[in-house]
């Protein structure tokens, strides 16, 4: 495989951020976050950035079409030639289909998906023990976020079944990292 086009999935507290930092360094590929792309587009003042800013100022959700345009522009940058790691996108099967069509149109390798699987009880323990973070880092808030995550993610797990590696997210950072490397070494 000449490119490393990766999608990392996992609930809040699964350790995605820690593992993505390692993958960025190991493979020399950028992490692509939709949040970062939206902020960058607005800051650029481009036509697309002005559209995004208007949408966000009205409190509306940025459409899949606009997000795909942002992803396409981002993938066109030289730092993405050896690959990329997607974070926060796609969130739905519709977005995944649009992304696959985009990658095909651009002549890019298909995605490899990694799902860091951590039981809810451990996610709750991790989030509550961080002692920082969001105002909804309570048992009830975390339970709500996990329910939304399950509803959003379940269709993606099915969608990416043929290219998805489920990685046990319990253990030390190095143990989990080793499992990810093993998963990525598989054809």
Active-site residue set? 16, 91, 130, 134, 145
Cβ pair 18, 173 in contact under 8 A? yes
Q: Is 81 helix (H, G, I), strand (E, B) or coil?
A: coil
CA–CA gap between residue 93 and residue 153 (Å, rounded) = 9
Q: Is 12 helix (H, G, I), strand (E, B) or coil?
A: coil
Q: What DSSP letter does each residue of 86-105 carry, written as one string?
A: EES---SHHHHHHHHHHHHH
Cβ pair 123, 11 in contact under 8 A? yes
């Amino acid at each position: 495989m000449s490119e490393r086009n990766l999608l990392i999935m996992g609930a809040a507290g699964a350790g995605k951020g820690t593992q993505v930092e390692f993958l960025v360094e190991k493979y020399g590929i950028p992490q692509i976050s939709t949040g970062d792309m939206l902020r960058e587009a607005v800051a650029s003042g481009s036509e697309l950035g002005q559209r995004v800013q208007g949408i966000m100022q009205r409190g509306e959700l940025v459409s899949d079409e606009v997000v795909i345009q942002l992803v396409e522009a981002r993938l066109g940058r030289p730092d993405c030639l050896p690959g990329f790691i997607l974070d926060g996108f796609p969130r739905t099967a519709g977005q995944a289909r649009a992304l696959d069509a985009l990658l095909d149109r651009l002549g890019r390798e298909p995605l490899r998906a990694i799902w860091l699987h951590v039981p809810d009880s451990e996610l709750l323990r991790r989030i509550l023990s961080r002692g920082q973070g969001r105002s909804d880092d309570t048992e009830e808030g975390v339970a709500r976020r996990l329910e939304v995550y399950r509803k959003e993610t379940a269709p993606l797990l099915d969608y990416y079944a043929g290219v998805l590696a489920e990685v046990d997210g319990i253990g030390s950072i190095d143990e989990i990292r080793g499992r990810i490397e093993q998963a990525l070494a598989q054809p």
